[in-house]
Amino acid sequence: MDWNDVLHFLTLARMKSVRAAGSSLGVSHSTVLRRVEALESKLGTRLFDRTRDGYILTAAGEQMLPGAERVELEMAALARGVAGADERLDGRVTLTCCDDHVARLLLAGLRDMCAAHPGLELAINVDTRPFDLNRSEADVAVRTLRCGVQPPSHLIAQPLAPLVIANYVARAHAERLRPDEPGACSRWLGFEPADAQAALVAASSHPGLACWGVFSSLALLVNAAREGLGLVMLPTYVGDAEPQLVRLAQADVRHVADLWLLSHPDVRDNARIRTVRRHVAQVFADQQPLFDGRRGCFSHPAGAESDRADSLSPT
Protein backbone atom coordinates (compact mmCIF):
# COMPACT_ATOMS: atom_id res chain seq x y z
CA MET A 1 0.00 0.00 0.00
CA ASP A 2 1.40 3.39 -1.05
CA TRP A 3 1.71 5.88 1.85
CA ASN A 4 0.90 8.77 -0.53
CA ASP A 5 -2.41 7.12 -1.38
CA VAL A 6 -3.18 6.79 2.34
CA LEU A 7 -2.26 10.44 2.90
CA HIS A 8 -4.68 11.54 0.17
CA PHE A 9 -7.37 9.33 1.74
CA LEU A 10 -6.84 10.94 5.16
CA THR A 11 -6.90 14.48 3.79
CA LEU A 12 -10.10 13.90 1.84
CA ALA A 13 -11.69 12.27 4.90
CA ARG A 14 -10.94 15.43 6.91
CA MET A 15 -11.73 18.04 4.26
CA LYS A 16 -14.70 16.24 2.63
CA SER A 17 -13.91 18.16 -0.57
CA VAL A 18 -11.45 17.15 -3.28
CA ARG A 19 -10.62 20.78 -4.02
CA ALA A 20 -9.96 21.57 -0.36
CA ALA A 21 -7.93 18.38 0.00
CA GLY A 22 -5.91 19.25 -3.10
CA SER A 23 -5.27 22.77 -1.80
CA SER A 24 -4.12 21.37 1.55
CA LEU A 25 -1.75 18.90 -0.13
CA GLY A 26 -0.56 21.29 -2.83
CA VAL A 27 -1.86 19.15 -5.70
CA SER A 28 -4.76 19.31 -8.15
CA HIS A 29 -8.19 17.94 -7.25
CA SER A 30 -7.80 15.39 -10.03
CA THR A 31 -4.66 14.05 -8.32
CA VAL A 32 -6.63 13.58 -5.10
CA LEU A 33 -9.32 11.62 -6.93
CA ARG A 34 -6.75 9.54 -8.80
CA ARG A 35 -4.90 8.62 -5.58
CA VAL A 36 -8.08 7.72 -3.71
CA GLU A 37 -9.42 5.68 -6.62
CA ALA A 38 -6.08 3.84 -6.83
CA LEU A 39 -6.35 2.99 -3.14
CA GLU A 40 -9.94 1.82 -3.53
CA SER A 41 -8.87 -0.35 -6.47
CA LYS A 42 -6.07 -1.97 -4.45
CA LEU A 43 -8.39 -2.64 -1.52
CA GLY A 44 -11.29 -3.75 -3.69
CA THR A 45 -13.80 -1.59 -1.85
CA ARG A 46 -15.31 1.90 -1.99
CA LEU A 47 -14.03 4.23 0.75
CA PHE A 48 -16.18 7.33 0.06
CA ASP A 49 -19.74 8.19 -0.89
CA ARG A 50 -20.22 11.46 -2.74
CA THR A 51 -23.12 13.40 -1.14
CA ARG A 52 -24.46 16.96 -1.00
CA ASP A 53 -22.28 17.47 2.05
CA GLY A 54 -19.16 16.33 0.21
CA TYR A 55 -17.18 13.10 0.30
CA ILE A 56 -18.35 11.00 3.27
CA LEU A 57 -16.61 7.84 4.46
CA THR A 58 -18.32 4.53 3.79
CA ALA A 59 -18.35 1.81 6.44
CA ALA A 60 -15.10 0.47 4.94
CA GLY A 61 -13.60 3.96 5.03
CA GLU A 62 -14.59 4.40 8.68
CA GLN A 63 -12.97 1.05 9.48
CA MET A 64 -9.76 2.08 7.73
CA LEU A 65 -9.51 5.56 9.27
CA PRO A 66 -8.02 4.72 12.72
CA GLY A 67 -5.28 2.55 11.22
CA ALA A 68 -4.44 5.20 8.63
CA GLU A 69 -4.16 7.81 11.39
CA ARG A 70 -1.79 5.55 13.34
CA VAL A 71 0.39 5.16 10.25
CA GLU A 72 0.33 8.95 9.79
CA LEU A 73 1.58 9.48 13.34
CA GLU A 74 4.34 6.93 12.84
CA MET A 75 5.43 8.55 9.57
CA ALA A 76 5.42 11.98 11.20
CA ALA A 77 7.48 10.68 14.14
CA LEU A 78 9.95 9.08 11.72
CA ALA A 79 10.30 12.37 9.82
CA ARG A 80 10.73 14.34 13.05
CA GLY A 81 13.39 11.92 14.25
CA VAL A 82 15.42 12.47 11.10
CA ALA A 83 14.82 16.22 11.11
CA GLY A 84 15.63 16.50 14.80
CA ALA A 85 19.23 15.53 14.16
CA ASP A 86 19.68 17.93 11.22
CA GLU A 87 22.42 20.43 12.07
CA ARG A 88 22.17 22.36 8.80
CA LEU A 89 20.75 25.86 8.61
CA ASP A 90 19.23 24.99 5.24
CA GLY A 91 15.70 23.94 4.43
CA ARG A 92 12.11 24.93 5.18
CA VAL A 93 10.59 25.79 8.55
CA THR A 94 6.80 25.95 8.71
CA LEU A 95 5.60 28.65 11.09
CA THR A 96 1.93 29.16 11.91
CA CYS A 97 0.64 32.20 13.80
CA CYS A 98 -2.72 33.36 15.06
CA ASP A 99 -3.46 36.50 12.99
CA ASP A 100 -2.19 38.77 10.23
CA HIS A 101 -0.90 41.39 12.66
CA VAL A 102 1.41 38.92 14.39
CA ALA A 103 2.50 37.66 10.97
CA ARG A 104 3.35 41.22 9.95
CA LEU A 105 5.52 41.73 13.02
CA LEU A 106 7.27 38.40 12.44
CA LEU A 107 7.99 39.13 8.78
CA ALA A 108 9.62 42.43 9.71
CA GLY A 109 11.44 40.98 12.71
CA LEU A 110 12.76 37.88 10.92
CA ARG A 111 14.10 39.75 7.90
CA ASP A 112 17.68 39.93 9.22
CA MET A 113 17.64 36.24 10.13
CA CYS A 114 16.58 35.34 6.58
CA ALA A 115 19.34 37.55 5.14
CA ALA A 116 21.95 35.94 7.40
CA HIS A 117 20.85 32.37 6.48
CA PRO A 118 19.90 32.39 2.77
CA GLY A 119 19.45 28.62 2.74
CA LEU A 120 16.71 28.82 5.36
CA GLU A 121 13.19 29.06 3.91
CA LEU A 122 10.11 30.20 5.86
CA ALA A 123 6.61 28.89 5.16
CA ILE A 124 4.28 31.15 7.19
CA ASN A 125 0.53 30.75 7.45
CA VAL A 126 -2.16 32.45 9.49
CA ASP A 127 -4.67 30.09 11.08
CA THR A 128 -6.41 30.05 14.44
CA ARG A 129 -7.13 26.33 14.46
CA PRO A 130 -4.94 24.19 16.75
CA PHE A 131 -2.39 22.66 14.37
CA ASP A 132 -1.41 19.11 15.33
CA LEU A 133 2.35 19.22 15.88
CA ASN A 134 2.29 15.46 16.38
CA ARG A 135 1.36 15.14 12.71
CA SER A 136 4.01 17.71 11.72
CA GLU A 137 1.41 20.12 10.37
CA ALA A 138 3.79 22.88 11.50
CA ASP A 139 7.29 23.08 12.94
CA VAL A 140 6.70 26.15 15.11
CA ALA A 141 3.38 27.63 16.25
CA VAL A 142 2.47 30.96 17.87
CA ARG A 143 -0.83 30.42 19.65
CA THR A 144 -3.14 32.27 22.03
CA LEU A 145 -4.34 30.67 25.27
CA ARG A 146 -6.67 32.19 27.84
CA CYS A 147 -5.08 33.37 31.08
CA GLY A 148 -4.31 30.42 33.32
CA VAL A 149 -4.56 27.82 30.53
CA GLN A 150 -1.34 25.87 29.99
CA PRO A 151 -0.17 24.42 26.66
CA PRO A 152 -0.17 20.62 26.21
CA SER A 153 2.49 19.14 28.48
CA HIS A 154 4.12 17.07 25.72
CA LEU A 155 5.12 20.17 23.71
CA ILE A 156 8.03 22.56 24.14
CA ALA A 157 6.24 25.74 25.21
CA GLN A 158 7.66 29.21 25.79
CA PRO A 159 5.54 32.18 26.89
CA LEU A 160 6.00 35.09 24.49
CA ALA A 161 3.78 37.98 25.57
CA PRO A 162 0.52 38.85 27.27
CA LEU A 163 -2.50 39.52 25.10
CA VAL A 164 -3.91 42.79 26.43
CA ILE A 165 -7.05 44.42 25.04
CA ALA A 166 -8.20 48.04 25.13
CA ASN A 167 -11.09 50.14 23.78
CA TYR A 168 -10.56 52.12 20.56
CA VAL A 169 -12.36 54.56 18.29
CA ALA A 170 -11.45 56.11 14.94
CA ARG A 171 -9.67 59.44 15.39
CA ALA A 172 -11.83 60.98 12.68
CA HIS A 173 -15.05 59.91 14.44
CA ALA A 174 -14.02 60.25 18.09
CA GLU A 175 -16.27 63.23 18.87
CA ARG A 176 -19.33 61.75 17.17
CA LEU A 177 -18.91 58.39 18.93
CA ARG A 178 -18.12 59.60 22.45
CA PRO A 179 -19.72 56.97 24.70
CA ASP A 180 -20.25 59.42 27.58
CA GLU A 181 -22.08 61.99 25.42
CA PRO A 182 -25.91 62.02 25.88
CA GLY A 183 -27.62 61.17 22.63
CA ALA A 184 -24.43 59.94 20.94
CA CYS A 185 -24.71 56.99 18.56
CA SER A 186 -22.04 54.94 20.28
CA ARG A 187 -22.11 51.15 20.04
CA TRP A 188 -19.69 48.24 20.24
CA LEU A 189 -18.66 46.47 17.07
CA GLY A 190 -19.47 42.77 17.42
CA PHE A 191 -17.18 39.76 17.22
CA GLU A 192 -17.45 36.07 17.93
CA PRO A 193 -17.90 34.22 20.17
CA ALA A 194 -20.76 36.44 21.25
CA ASP A 195 -20.73 35.21 24.85
CA ALA A 196 -17.06 36.23 25.21
CA GLN A 197 -17.84 39.72 23.94
CA ALA A 198 -20.90 40.00 26.18
CA ALA A 199 -18.73 39.24 29.23
CA LEU A 200 -16.13 41.83 28.19
CA VAL A 201 -18.80 44.48 27.55
CA ALA A 202 -20.52 43.76 30.87
CA ALA A 203 -17.23 44.31 32.72
CA SER A 204 -16.31 47.43 30.74
CA SER A 205 -16.79 51.12 31.57
CA HIS A 206 -19.65 51.24 29.04
CA PRO A 207 -21.78 48.14 29.72
CA GLY A 208 -24.98 49.80 28.49
CA LEU A 209 -23.86 50.21 24.91
CA ALA A 210 -25.37 47.82 22.37
CA CYS A 211 -23.31 45.45 20.24
CA TRP A 212 -23.75 45.90 16.50
CA GLY A 213 -22.73 43.64 13.62
CA VAL A 214 -20.44 40.62 13.58
CA PHE A 215 -16.89 40.92 12.21
CA SER A 216 -15.06 37.63 11.91
CA SER A 217 -11.44 38.82 11.90
CA LEU A 218 -9.24 41.45 13.48
CA ALA A 219 -8.69 42.98 10.05
CA LEU A 220 -12.45 43.44 9.57
CA LEU A 221 -12.87 44.90 13.06
CA VAL A 222 -10.11 47.43 12.38
CA ASN A 223 -11.62 48.41 9.03
CA ALA A 224 -15.09 48.78 10.56
CA ALA A 225 -13.69 50.96 13.36
CA ARG A 226 -11.73 53.10 10.90
CA GLU A 227 -14.97 53.76 9.00
CA GLY A 228 -16.61 55.02 12.19
CA LEU A 229 -19.13 52.19 12.49
CA GLY A 230 -18.63 51.94 16.25
CA LEU A 231 -16.29 51.42 19.16
CA VAL A 232 -14.05 48.38 19.19
CA MET A 233 -12.14 46.19 21.63
CA LEU A 234 -8.80 45.17 20.17
CA PRO A 235 -5.50 43.69 21.33
CA THR A 236 -3.12 46.56 21.99
CA TYR A 237 -0.64 45.15 19.47
CA VAL A 238 -3.36 45.76 16.87
CA GLY A 239 -5.02 48.97 18.07
CA ASP A 240 -1.89 50.87 19.12
CA ALA A 241 -0.18 50.02 15.82
CA GLU A 242 -3.07 51.51 13.80
CA PRO A 243 -2.51 55.28 13.38
CA GLN A 244 -6.16 55.97 12.53
CA LEU A 245 -7.39 54.60 15.86
CA VAL A 246 -7.09 56.10 19.33
CA ARG A 247 -7.86 54.66 22.75
CA LEU A 248 -10.98 55.83 24.51
CA ALA A 249 -10.49 57.92 27.65
CA GLN A 250 -11.75 54.89 29.59
CA ALA A 251 -9.75 52.30 27.69
CA ASP A 252 -10.37 49.38 30.09
CA VAL A 253 -6.92 47.89 29.49
CA ARG A 254 -7.24 44.19 30.39
CA HIS A 255 -4.95 41.15 30.24
CA VAL A 256 -7.18 38.40 28.81
CA ALA A 257 -4.84 35.79 27.31
CA ASP A 258 -1.22 34.93 26.56
CA LEU A 259 0.75 34.21 23.41
CA TRP A 260 2.90 31.06 23.43
CA LEU A 261 5.60 29.62 21.20
CA LEU A 262 5.10 25.87 20.66
CA SER A 263 7.05 23.10 18.94
CA HIS A 264 7.46 19.33 19.20
CA PRO A 265 10.29 17.97 21.42
CA ASP A 266 11.43 15.63 18.64
CA VAL A 267 12.78 18.62 16.71
CA ARG A 268 14.40 20.26 19.73
CA ASP A 269 17.91 19.83 18.26
CA ASN A 270 17.09 20.75 14.65
CA ALA A 271 19.36 23.68 13.87
CA ARG A 272 17.03 25.63 11.59
CA ILE A 273 13.97 25.17 13.83
CA ARG A 274 16.00 26.12 16.89
CA THR A 275 17.20 29.26 15.07
CA VAL A 276 13.68 30.27 14.05
CA ARG A 277 12.37 29.73 17.58
CA ARG A 278 15.10 31.93 19.02
CA HIS A 279 14.46 34.76 16.59
CA VAL A 280 10.67 34.57 16.97
CA ALA A 281 11.07 34.91 20.73
CA GLN A 282 13.36 37.91 20.17
CA VAL A 283 10.77 39.62 17.96
CA PHE A 284 8.24 39.43 20.78
CA ALA A 285 10.82 40.57 23.35
CA ASP A 286 11.64 43.61 21.22
CA GLN A 287 7.94 44.53 20.87
CA GLN A 288 6.95 43.71 24.47
CA PRO A 289 5.66 47.25 25.22
CA LEU A 290 3.19 46.91 22.35
CA PHE A 291 1.85 43.63 23.73
CA ASP A 292 1.67 44.57 27.40
CA GLY A 293 -0.34 47.70 26.68
CA ARG A 294 2.25 50.45 27.17
CA ARG A 295 1.64 53.18 24.61
CA GLY A 296 3.94 55.03 22.26
CA CYS A 297 6.52 52.26 21.95
CA PHE A 298 5.66 50.80 18.55
CA SER A 299 7.91 51.45 15.57
CA HIS A 300 6.25 50.59 12.27
CA PRO A 301 8.31 48.39 9.93
CA ALA A 302 9.84 50.23 7.00
CA GLY A 303 7.26 50.85 4.30
CA ALA A 304 4.35 50.06 6.61
CA GLU A 305 2.44 53.27 5.88
CA SER A 306 2.43 52.73 2.12
CA ASP A 307 0.79 49.30 2.27
CA ARG A 308 -1.23 49.61 5.47
CA ALA A 309 -4.56 49.50 3.62
CA ASP A 310 -3.61 46.21 1.97
CA SER A 311 -2.48 44.66 5.23
CA LEU A 312 -5.79 45.44 6.89
CA SER A 313 -8.07 44.32 4.07
CA PRO A 314 -10.70 41.66 4.91
CA THR A 315 -9.41 38.08 4.80
Query: Is residue 87 very low, low, confident or very high in pLDDT (cuts 50, 70, 90)?
Result: low
| Three-state secondary structure string covering 181-244 | CCCCCCCEECCCCHHHHHHHHHCCCCCCCCEECCCCCHHHHHHHHHCCCCEEEEEHHHHCCCCC
Q: What is the pLDDT of residue 309?
A: 29
Name the percent of the chain lying above pLDDT 90: 53
Residue 284: phi, psi to the nearest 5? -70, -35
Listed residues 84, 111, 129: the one ending a domain:
84
**With bands split at pLDDT 50, 70 and 90, how would you rate the model's confidence at 70?**
confident
Query: What is the pLDDT at residue 312?
Result: 26
Of 300 and 312, the one with more pLDDT: 300
- The per-residue pLDDT of the chain, averaged, comes to 84
Residue 310 — very low, low, confident or very high, per pLDDT cuts 50/70/90?
very low
Model confidence at 284: pLDDT above 70? yes
Q: Look up the CATH number of the domain holding residue 53.
A: 1.10.10.10
What percent of the chain clears pLDDT 70, i.e. is strictly above it?
A: 85
Residues 6-11: what's their mean pLDDT? 89
pLDDT tens-digit profile of 171-227?
Answer: 999 999 999 877 667 999 999 889 999 999 999 999 999 999 999 899 999 999 999
Task: List Cα–Cα distances, 27 to 74, 81, 126, 137, 227, in angstroms.
Answer: 23, 26, 20, 16, 40
Q: Using pLDDT thresholds of 50, 70 and 90, give the confidence band for residue 297.
A: very low
Instruction: Please report, for the domain that includes residue 309, its CATH number.
Output: 3.40.190.290
Which of 38, 53, 84 is the C-terminal boundary of a domain?
A: 84
246 with 293, same domain: the answer is yes
Q: Which stretch of 167-176, 239-248, 290-299 has the lowest confidence by average pLDDT?
A: 290-299
Helix axes 59-84, 3-15, angle to 10 degrees: 120
CA-CA distance, 187 to 178, in Å (whole number)? 10
- 7-11, 245-249, 258-262: range with lowest mean pLDDT: 7-11
Length reported for the chain? 315
Domain containing 77 equals 3-84
Q: Is the pLDDT of residue 167 over 90?
A: yes
* 34 lies in the same domain as 121: no
Question: Of 126, 123, 135, 134, nearest to 92 (Cα)?
Answer: 123
Cα–Cα distance between 263 and 157 in angstroms, integer? 7
Verify that 39 and 152 share a domain, yes or no.
no
What mean pLDDT is predicted for residues 246-271? 89
Q: Burial, 181: exposed, middle or buried (Cβ in 10 Å; 0-12, 13-18, 19+)? A: exposed
Q: Does 25 share its domain with 76?
A: yes
pLDDT in tens, 99-154: 999 999 999 999 999 999 999 999 998 876 654 544 557 889 999 999 989 998 88
